[in-house]
Amino acid sequence: MFNTALKHLNLLYLALVLLAGSPGVLAQGEAESRSLFERLGGLMSISVVVNEFFDAVVSDDQIKANPAVDASRKVVPAPYLKYQVTAMVCEVTGGPCSYHGRDMKAAHAHLNITEAEWDRMIVLFKEVLARHEVPEAETAELLDIMASTKADIVMPATP
């Protein structure tokens, strides 16, 4: 979806350039200066991937085995969580959205998420990104963003 949406955006841009009489397509430097949000294909593409990722996490047996996570899913409606995560991804990738939810530490403190559950979530995320043909550079940027939240989400191992 990301790759398809990105292709459509590039074709739209090319058509606009040609209609406006500008000389050609984006120069290499201009393409690299686009935000991650733009390179991912915008809000539509991000919302599709967040939706699929959320569904993968919710249905994963290893993650469902955490009783706190399982209980939380029964209290907080999935559409609300998907909306909040989509808004957050939109904002942190340079898009026009504003995330108004709780910070990561407050939102996850009661879930007792383990290192193994975090690792499983990353595997699921990579699988969703691969299915949507998200390019390697953008995948790496998204994983870096996720890694920056790990300390606030994963419970420290007890000795």
Domain extent at residue 129: 2-153
pTM confidence score: 0.78
31 in any annotated domain: yes
Most confident option among 39-53, 64-78, 101-115: 39-53
* 8 A C-beta contact, residue 62 and residue 35: no
pLDDT at 20 over 70: no
User: How many domains does the chain contain in total?
Assistant: 1
159 in any annotated domain: no
Q: Is the dihedral of CA 48, 50, 53, 58 positive or negative?
A: negative
Cα distance between residue 48 and residue 121, in whole Å: 17
20 in any annotated domain: yes
Count of CA atoms in the C-beta half-sphere (13 A) of 60: 21
Read off the tokens for 19: 């209609």
Cα distance between residue 155 and residue 148, in whole Å: 15
> Tell me, what CATH number does 147's domain have?
1.10.490.10
Cα distance between residue 125 and residue 150, in whole Å: 14
- C-alpha dist (Å) from residue 120 to 106, 114, 148: 21, 10, 17
136 in any annotated domain: yes
Read off the tokens for 48: 């599709």
Q: How confident is the model at residue 36 (pLDDT cuts 50, 70, 90)?
A: very high
Summarised one tens digit per residue, pLDDT across range 73-111 is 889 999 999 999 999 999 999 999 999 999 999 999 899
